[in-house]
Amino acid sequence: MMNELIFYLLAGLVLGSSLAVLLIPNPMYATLSLVGNLLAVAGIYALLNAHFLAVVQVTVYAGAVMVLVLFVIMLINNRDFEARIPSKIYFFLASALVFLFLYILIPRLSSSGEASNVEGSVRSFGLLLFQDYVINFQIAGILLLAAMVGAIMIGRRSGD
Amino acid sequence: MEIDIVTKLSCFMFCAGVLTVLLRRDTILMLVGIELMLNAVNLSLVGFSSLHGELSGQIFVFFIMVVAAAESGVGLAIIISLFRAFRSVDREAASELKW
Amino acid sequence: MDHYIILIIQVVFVLNLILGLASLCTWFERKASALIQDRVGANRAGAFYRGDNFLSKSASPFIRVLGKLGVINTLICDSVKGIMKEDFIPKGVNPILHASGPFLAALPVFVSFAVIPFAPDFTIPAFTFFSYDFGPYDIKMQLAPLDAGALFILAMGSIAVYGVAIAGFTGNNKFSFLGGLRAAAQMISYELAMGIALATAILVYGTTDIYAMVEAQKTVWGIIMMPIGFVILFITGLAETKRGPFDMPESESELVAGYFTEYSGMKFLLFWLGEFAEIALFSAVISLLFFGGWNIPFVTLPEGTIFGALLGHTILMTKIVFFCLLQIVIRWTIPRFRYDQLMNLGWKYLLPLSLVNLMGTAVVVLL
């Protein structure tokens, strides 16, 4: 019973913060709503027995990536343009199309069922990661290195 | 807990992400929309992994997070370059290739 | 039903403990800083108290002693002053953002205390009280016996960056903004080395559960197994809490007051409370991971009894208080780093050192 209650609370937070990201004009508040969204989704991961993923989501996604986005927003404070969503017609048309497409298509593809117990503890996750997916792991490391070098190269001033 | 509701939740988040990318004028917020879309996919993957009892879904989510972190880093560097070139992060400002 | 009541009792206990530790650190900061700097410090409030009825007459020697030590000054006068000050919000700043700055800086610290075990597990045997049967209870002294406890503390450290960045930004002046950015950059840089040092500890103990880590130190303390890891974790912990020689963000002589320039009254005190609670958290992590928690060499505690739990709790608290006081003394003894020296240390020295340490420890564990 407690599980269900917490799940509905977190689901409400997810819904609310997604709408807030879409609708709030100020970019800083929209980013903070996304942070709230990431934290609520981390809670849902914990409820779905994905403990390691919940912690990684908070540490990496909500704790590092979004801080970078927040830094960029804080440093670039020059907003002469109107941050509102353009005219209402486009908004409603786009929303209707997207929602209809996804809400009609996706639920026909999913299978309904109860959540079975998957062992998402750190130990089992690590064992699977380093035994079956070790090559993917190494490639992910190289990808991160490439991204880091690339970001530094792109972000340099053109005089260096 | 039924998995249907997790799928619908992820669907809603994905819609919100797509609309953010389409409708917002600020490039940084478009990046935020991309992150929201990736997050929605992560949620649905974790939901299905829990449904079938397979741990591979969670491993996939781990790699998606790695890729998302990498692309947001590079994306922010690109946005900063855009800002230096056009003095604005408006997506309408970077329109020199228009006819 | 029963275990909810036990949970509530545990929550109250842990909250009291955190606030008690934070208050102790606050008082010790004022008095020890004064003694280190060769002055006396606060000793006037309540120092000359004389009672006039029986109750206050018998209490007055204690009040005088406490007043001379500066306890009343720090704990009562400062709190009352902070609560009654005008809550000042700078113009043109969203009040919700302004209020959420100290909240986001202090909340992750309090939440992290949920995964810290304060005593070994014990069992309350079945007893009857006024003809109600209370069954035997297995009580873990950890609010949330998570499987990924050590990683949870790291995750909460990542959230604490938000409080600092938002607090600096909503100050609406260049000084606090600069202080906030520097603080956030410092915290992120040292989080990396801290994560790798924690990974070394996880590697040696083979588990991320903090209780299991303490249980694994029954024969030999953690620091003998990983000395370099301890040094790295200590230094990065000092940098994370923005204390000690790493307090560039709040360098009082340079940046007005750093990232909490525009806060007054209780919000300012909430920042300080969060900082001292983080000192306590970090001392708890060090003493649990490296110094054996509640284990003393050559002594085995009686397992599972209330007496063993009390003894273990006392030992753990002694270690935690020792490390809290050590951090405060370090802060007032060592001059602070310049910002580029700080970043240099974090990226060029601590990060490679922690990686080499991890690889070396992995090799040793494998053999």
Q: What pLDDT digit, counting tens, does each position of B38-69 carry?
A: 999 999 999 888 888 888 899 999 999 999 99
Q: What phi, psi does B6 have (nearest 5°)?
A: -65, -40
Give C367 to chain A, closest Cα distance, Å.
19
Answer yes or no: is B43 within a domain. Answer: yes
Q: B56 in a domain, yes or no?
A: yes
- Both A74 and A136 in one domain: the answer is no
Interface residue of A19, A29, A81, A88 to substitute, partner B, most B CBs within 10 Å? A81
CA–chain centroid gap for C10, Å, is: 18
Instruction: Extract the tokens encoding C89.
Output: 């919000």
Q: What is the pLDDT of residue C300?
A: 78
- C331 Cα distance to chain centroid: 15
Evaluate whether residue A112 is within a structural domain.
no
Chains that touch C (3 or more CB pairs under 8 A): A
The whole-angstrom separation of Cα C260 and Cα C267 is 9
Which of the four pLDDT bands, split at 50, 70 and 90, describes residue C79?
Answer: confident
pLDDT digits (tens, 9 = 90+) for A63-83: 999 999 998 988 887 666 655
Gap between the Cα atoms of A35 and A60, Å rounded? 12
**Across A109-123, B14-28, B66-80, C178-192, least confident range:** A109-123
- ipTM for this prediction: 0.91
**Residue C223 included in any domain:** yes
Q: Would you give the DSSP letter of residue C337? A: P
Question: If you write DSSP's letter for every residue of B38-56 in order, what string do you get?
Answer: HHHHHHHHHHHHHHHT-SH
Q: Which amino acid is located at B76 in the chain? A: L
Task: Tell me: pLDDT of A110 over 60.
Answer: no
Q: Could you give the 3-state DSSP secondary structure of residue C331?
A: helix
CB contact under 8 A, B25 and A81: yes
Q: Is residue C193 part of a domain?
A: yes
- What single string gives the DSSP state of each residue in A75-133? H-----S--SPS-HHHHHHHHHHHHHHHHHHHHHHS---BPP-----HHHHHHHHHHTS
B1 and A7: CB-CB below 8 Å?
yes
Mutating which of C100, C187, C208 best tests the A interface, going by the most A Cβ atoms within 10 A? C208
**Is A87 contained in some domain?**
no
| Domain extent at residue C274 | 93-125+146-366
- Rounded to whole angstroms, the Cα distance separating B32 from B44 reads 19
C-alpha angle with apex C196: C191 to C199, nearest 5 degrees?
125
Token pair of C306 as six digits:
């209330």
Neighbouring CB atoms inside 10 A of C72's CB total: 22
Helix, coil or strand: residue C232: helix
Torsion angle in degrees (nearest 10) through CA of C312, C313, C319, C322 = -150
Residue C75 pLDDT: 77
Q: Tell me: do A72 and A7 sit in the same domain.
A: yes
Higher pLDDT, B15 or A119: B15
- With respect to residue C107, please indicate whether it lies within any of the assigned structural domains: yes
- Spell out which chain C residues touch chain A, with contact meaning CB-CB distance below 8 angstroms: 94, 97, 146-148, 151-152, 154-159, 161-162, 165-166, 169, 177, 181, 184, 188, 195, 207-208
Average pLDDT, chain C: 84
Inter-chain touch A117–B35, beta carbons under 8 Å: no
- Token pair in block for residue C118: 């304060």
* C268 found inside a domain: yes
Q: What percent of chain A has pLDDT over 70?
A: 85
Asked if A59 reaches chain C (Cβ–Cβ under 8 Å), the answer is yes
In a domain, B92, yes or no: no
Tell me which of A47, A64, A79 is where a domain ends.
Answer: A79
Decide: B and C in contact? Rule: 3+ Cβ pairs under 8 Å. Answer: no
What are C182's two structure tokens? 């520097």
CB A67 within 8 A of CB C161: yes
Q: In whole angstroms, give the CA distance from residue C316 to residue C295.
A: 8
DSSP state of A50: -
Q: Which two tokens stand for residue A3?
A: 């599980």
Say what the pLDDT of residue C272 is. Answer: 85
Please write the tens of the pLDDT for every residue from C93-132.
788 888 888 888 889 999 999 999 988 888 887 777 777 7
Tell me which long-range contacts C306-310 makes (C-beta under 8 A, separation of at least 24): C306/C122, C306/C124, C308/C120, C308/C122, C309/C119, C309/C120, C309/C121, C309/C122, C309/C141, C310/C119
Residue A158 has what DSSP assignment?
T
Residues of C in contact with A123 (CB under 8 A): 207
In C319-356, which positions are buried (b, 16+ CB within 10 angstroms) versus exposed (e)?
Answer: bbbebbbebbbebeeeebbeeeebbebbeeebbebbee
- For C254-271, what is the HEC assignment? CCCCHHHCCCCCHHHHHH
H or E segment to which residue C129 belongs? strand C127-129
A64 within domain boundaries: yes
pLDDT score at A88:
75
Q: Which of C246, C255, C213 is nearest to C331 (CA)?
A: C246
Residue with tokens 């800002």: B83
Tokens 């750093």 correspond to C258
Please enumerate in sequence order all residues whose Cβ is within 8 A of that of A37, keeping only pairs 6 or more positions apart, or say none. A13, A14, A17, A18, A21, B13, B36, B39
Q: Which residues of C touch A64 (CB under 8 A)?
A: 158, 188
Say what the pLDDT of residue A78 is: 64
Q: What pLDDT is attached to residue A109?
A: 59
Tally of CA atoms within 13 A in the half-sphere of C243 that contains its CB: 29
B5 close to A (CB below 8 A): yes
What does the alpha-carbon distance between residue A68 and residue A74 come to, in Å, rounded to a whole number? 10
Q: Give the tokens for residue A136.
A: 């993917």
pLDDT at C198 over 60: yes
Q: Considering only A2-16, A94-108, C73-87, C285-299, which range has the smallest mean pLDDT?
A: A94-108
- How many domains would you assign to chain C? 1
Residue B8 belongs to a domain with what CATH number?
1.10.287.3510
**Domain assignment of residue C114, yes or no:** yes
- Segments forming the whole domain that contains residue A142: 132-160
In chain A, what residues touch C148 (CB-CB under 8 Å)?
Answer: 51-52, 55, 121-122
Three-class SS state of C45: coil
Taking CB atoms and an 8 Å cutoff, what residues of chain A touch B30?
none
Average pLDDT along chain B:
88
Q: Would the CB atoms of A55 and C147 count as touching at under 8 Å? A: no
Q: Across residues C8-36, what is the average pLDDT?
A: 88
**Number of domain units in chain B:** 1
Instruction: Quote the domain boundaries for residue B58.
Output: 3-86
| Res A83: pLDDT | 56
A and B interact (at least 3 Cβ pairs within 8 A)? yes
Of all residues in chain B, the one with the smallest CA distance to A155 is B77
Task: Give the three-state DSSP class for C292.
Answer: coil
* Inter-chain residue contact A80 with B79, CB threshold 8 Å: no
Tell me whether residue B65 is in a domain: yes
Q: Which two tokens stand for residue B73?
A: 């880093």
Residue C135's H or E segment, with its range, is none
Q: Look at residue B74 in the predicted model and tell me its pLDDT.
A: 94
pLDDT, one tens digit per residue, over A7-53 is: 999 999 999 999 999 888 888 889 999 999 999 999 999 988 888 99
* Residue from A32, A65, A82, A117 to probe the interface with B (highest B Cβ count within 10 Å): A65
Residue B48 within any structural domain of the chain? yes
- Count of CB pairs separated by less than 8 Å, A with C: 58
- Centre a 10 Å sphere on the Cβ of residue C91 and count the other Cβ atoms it contains: 5
Q: Which residues of C touch A74 (CB under 8 A)?
A: 165, 169, 177, 181
CB nearest C152 (choices: A28, A32, A55): A55
Single-letter amino acid, residue C21: L
Instruction: Determine the residue type at C55.
Output: L
- In the stretch 27-86 of chain B, residues with CB closer than 8 A to chain A read 28-29, 31-33, 35-36, 39, 42-43, 46-56, 58-59, 61-63, 65-74, 76-81, 83-84
Q: How far is CA C297 from the centre of its chain?
A: 25
